[in-house]
Amino acid sequence: MKLPTLNTLMTMALAVVAMSFSTLSAAQSIAALEANLAKKTASLATLDSRIHSYSERQLDAEEKLQEALIDLANATKELAEARQNTGDAAETQQSLATKKVNLAKNALESRQSRLASARDKYTALLVEKQTTEAEINAISTLIVKKQQQAAVAKANAAAQPTPKPAAVKVQAPTAQISEPVLLAQAPTQTVAMDTATESETETEIPPTPRQLHAQKKMAELNERIKGADKDGWRQYETLSLRIDRGELVEFEFLGNHQYYAEVTLDKGKSKIKIRSRTFVVDVPDEEDGNTFVVIYDTRDKYKADFTVFNKSLLD
């Protein structure tokens, strides 16, 4: 099966963005759009740091892969020499050489898997960045458009003359009083206009406490890694987490002692182990299988700060 190229993935992602923003409610306020723009801009800053992290990880994985290839070649050579040995220790040497070859093969497979994973994640992040940039452009364009519309509406309202009250013609009383149609229609017209105005205004739902918490934590992370040296000294050369008894997930190093990971969690309680520490996370049923962000702040080497939240809370 042929996998889609990076250009194909980006084209597909941009098509989804275009469809999404073509259905944006025209009644969404400028303030709501500006708040969304701020969140997308913050996400872009995080993506840039993560892309750099995976770029460095690819280089490291390639170096480790070359080392594994050399180790396997050396182990294979030693095995061949051991098989030619006919002395008393020949069987022991061959057994040790065979184990060494097997270990070298396992190490090679591990290095190949790590490099493939780094490349796949790097590509996915590039697509996500392209998508986020397209969303930022779409929101910015919509904000400008709505600001222009608001300015035109304000100018038109100011240009319209104030209507003068209609003159009332006094007639002599008669036996039959005609129905005051004009006076009865006026309030009806006013009520209809008010109703139309209300229907055009979309009620904006305030963010939940969980959304505010997630957005605050991400903003704090972005502030800590702003201008940080991502290639210098770090608390841990590599840092991983393990969910329950699953496979290890390697953190991304973003600089300034900050480690970042995205994991999929099932509903119910899950144990996330980082080195010698274990954290219990309780996932609601409706968030089963969602992607969660894990931030590990190691500025305090004796007690690093652990943060986890549903990634969808940032949208």
pLDDT in tens, 111-151: 999 999 999 999 999 999 999 999 999 999 999 999 998 89
Q: pLDDT value at position 200?
A: 42
Give the separation between CA 17 and CA 69, rounded to whole angstroms: 43
For residue 48, what are its two tokens?
């840039």
In sign, the C-alpha dihedral spanning 256, 261, 50, 240 is positive
Rounded percentage of the chain residues whose pLDDT exceeds 90: 58
Domain ranges of the chain: 1-159, 235-315
Q: Measuring CA to CA, how many Å separate 67 from each of 30, 62, 111, 140?
A: 55, 9, 9, 48
Task: Check pLDDT > 80 for residue 24.
Answer: no
Give the separation between CA 45 and CA 219, rounded to whole angstroms: 10
Model confidence over 272-309: pLDDT tens digits? Answer: 999 999 999 999 999 999 999 999 999 998 889 999 99
Which pTM value belongs to this model?
0.70
Angle between helices 209-225 and 30-84 (to 10 degrees): 60
Q: Are 259 and 298 in contact (CB under 8 A)?
A: yes
CATH fold, domain 235-315, is Immunoglobulin-like (2.60.40)
CATH of domain 1-159: 1.10.287.620
Give the separation between CA 168 and CA 170, rounded to whole angstroms: 6
Q: pLDDT value at position 29?
A: 87
